[in-house]
Amino acid sequence: MNKAIIVTGGAGFIGSNFVNDWLAQSDTTVINLDCLTYAGNMENLAALEGDGRHVFVKGGIGDSALVSELFSKYQPYAVVNFAAESHVDRSIHSPEDFIQTNIVGTFRLLEAARTYWNGLPESDKGDFRFLHVSTDEVYGSLKKNDPPFSETNRYEPNSPYSASKAASDHLVRAYHHTYGMPVLTTNCSNNYGPFHFPEKLIPLLIANALADKVLPVYGDGQQIRDWLYVSDHCAGIRRVLEAGRVGETYNIGGWNEMANIDIVHIVCDLLDESRPRADGKSYREQITFVTDRPGHDRRYAIDATKIERELGWKPAETFQTGIRKTVAWYLANPEWVANVQSGAYRDWLEKNYSERS
């Protein structure tokens, strides 16, 4: 088969990190399909400008004709599907966008992939892979002393976002069991790192702190998440694509359970160290507790034993090392932050947090 892969959503946070990391260690051509909505950003791919191995195509996974054309033209041996609406708060305000992209879009991508796969020579069919990137949020919420999510946990999504991702996971599974398509699914914990759009907790904290704005913390700040450095996640996906068992699901986690308020304190302390406030006070003074969002899951935690046992993957970064790299990246790239903070993004941010003040 040709040495090309299709990566959908490859200009977003995780997708662009995956594309950059992939081409840093492989000569395989990447066909990067992204519709460049608010979170897609070509600046994330600036290092690849002029690189013939990177072919960017503007468009969405819901465009069946375009997706089919890409399969026909480039004859990929794999698809890695990052394309998704992915922010819980946005799903509360605009759930239909999540239904259209995460469910209908995934269905149309699967259909195009199935048609292409069915047309492959028998010798190539077994080498093809459709890897679907999902989230731990499909499993719902854990109590304080519950064991972490494993791949066999039942699905109990609690937001329009997680429900739409759960539906997409079920579609991928169904295409394997019904049609025999060689699929793989990964469910990850909270990612952080470079190119993270500043509506999410860590980059929002950094941007607001430096702009002398409040650092909004939902509820009591005791919501617990497992944090995974984005390059570790990308390495896990590459390993699953390379050696994962067809039809299987692999949870990718960072083994870093932390409460949101502890994350806020750590970021403030790193900024106090690296970029002190002019008045000598701590950034912690900017912390403001705001009304919790509806249906806010209390705890997520990933059991990443299966991927380590079967495929030998485990995260290279601790939270302490990863968060230092992340803060340093944002401090070194203020232009990137300024450029993604468009008027539309500012309007949404004001709407979301003004309702909770």
- DSSP characters over 150-207: -TTSPP---SHHHHHHHHHHHHHHHHHHHH---EEEEEE-EEESTT--TTSHHHHHHH
State the catalytic residue, choosing from 77, 139, 161, 218: 161
Identify the pLDDT of residue 353: 46
Identify the pLDDT of residue 345: 47
Assess if CATH 3.40.50.720 describes domain 4-192+230-253+299-318.
yes
The reply to whether the predicted model has a pTM over 0.85 is: yes
Distances (CA, A) of 113 to 46, 64, 72, 175, 326: 29, 10, 10, 10, 35
Each residue's pLDDT, cut to its tens digit, for the chain (357 residues) gives 568 999 999 999 999 999 999 999 999 999 999 998 877 889 999 999 999 999 999 999 999 999 999 999 999 999 999 999 876 778 788 899 999 999 999 999 999 999 999 999 999 999 999 999 999 999 999 998 999 999 999 999 999 999 999 999 999 999 999 999 999 999 999 999 999 988 789 999 999 999 999 999 999 999 999 999 999 999 999 999 999 999 999 999 999 999 999 999 999 999 999 999 999 999 999 999 998 878 778 899 999 999 999 999 999 999 999 999 999 999 999 999 888 876 554 554 466 546 644
Catalytic-residue membership of 335:
no
- Crossing angle, helix 13-25 and helix 230-243, to 10 degrees? 60
Handedness of CA 235, 238, 244, 250 (dihedral sign): positive
Identify the pLDDT of residue 349: 46
Identify the pLDDT of residue 348: 46
Closest CA to 294 of 214, 206, 356: 356
State the catalytic residue, choosing from 137, 226, 257, 317: 137
Catalytic-residue membership of 137:
yes
State the catalytic residue, choosing from 89, 136, 297, 303: 136
